A = this chain, B = another copy of it.
Amino acid sequence: MDMNQSTLSRKAEDYLEGILISVNEKGYARPRDVVKRMEVSYPSATEMLRKLAEQKLITYEKYGEIKLTSEGLSIASKIKNRHDVFENFLKIILIKNEIAEKDACVLEHHLHPETIRQFSKFVSFIKESRKRPEFLIEFEKYCKK
C-alpha cells in the first residue's frame, strides 16, 4: 500500500504541490490555477490532471473543482515540507529570496531521504540556536571579502 510516492514522476509531484497551494488558499483548485502556477498550457494541465485523478491523488471531473484525496494530500504535503526546508536552507546560506524560492523547486525532488533529513536537521539546528550562530556571522563576513 502507498507505493505511489516512489513511482510518481518529478512533474507529477510538482503539479500536486501546486494544487496543494491553491487548495490551501481557497479549498480547491481550477485548471486555470494549475496553468498559471506551472506555467504550462491548458492541454498540458488537463492531461496531468487526468493522470493524477486516475491514480486517485486528486478528484477531478470535467469542468469541476480539483481537490486532493487524502493520499494526494499526504504526498503534496511531504513535497511542500521539503520545499520549505530547502528554501530555508538557501536563505541561510544567503541566497536572495526570489532565487531561493525557485531553486528550492529544483532541490525538492529526487534527493535521497537521508539527504533531505540532514538538510532538515541543519535548518532546525540553526533555527533552534537562541542567538544567531557565530559561524553565520563569520560566513557573512567571509562572503563579503
A-side interface residues toward B, CB under 8 Å? 90, 93-96, 99-100, 102-103, 106-107, 109-112, 114-115, 118-119, 121-122, 125, 133-135, 138-139, 142-143
Interface of A is mostly: helix
Of B99, B111, B138, the residue contacting A115 (CB under 8 A) is: B99
Residues on the B chain within 8 Å of A106, using CB = 109-111
A-B contact pairs, 14 of them (CB 8 A): A90-B115, A93-B119, A93-B122, A95-B112, A95-B118, A99-B114, A102-B112, A103-B111, A103-B112, A106-B110, A107-B107, A121-B143, A125-B139, A125-B143
Report which residue of A95, A109, A119 has the largest number of chain B beta carbons within 10 angstroms of its beta carbon: A95
User: Are the C-beta atoms of B133 and A118 separated by less than 8 Å?
Assistant: no
Of B112, B122, B142, the residue contacting A139 (CB under 8 A) is: B122
Q: Report the minimum CB–CB distance from A105 to chain B (whole Å).
A: 10
Known contacts A107-B107, A135-B133, A135-B135, A95 near B114 by CB under 8 Å: yes
A141's nearest neighbour on chain B, judged by CB, is: B125
Residues on the B chain within 8 Å of A95, using CB = 112, 114-115, 118
A125's nearest neighbour on chain B, judged by CB, is: B142
Residues on the B chain within 8 Å of A122, using CB = 93, 139
**What are the 8 tightest A-B residue pairs by CB atom distance, in nearest-first order?**
A135-B135, A125-B142, A99-B112, A93-B118, A103-B115, A106-B110, A103-B111, A93-B122
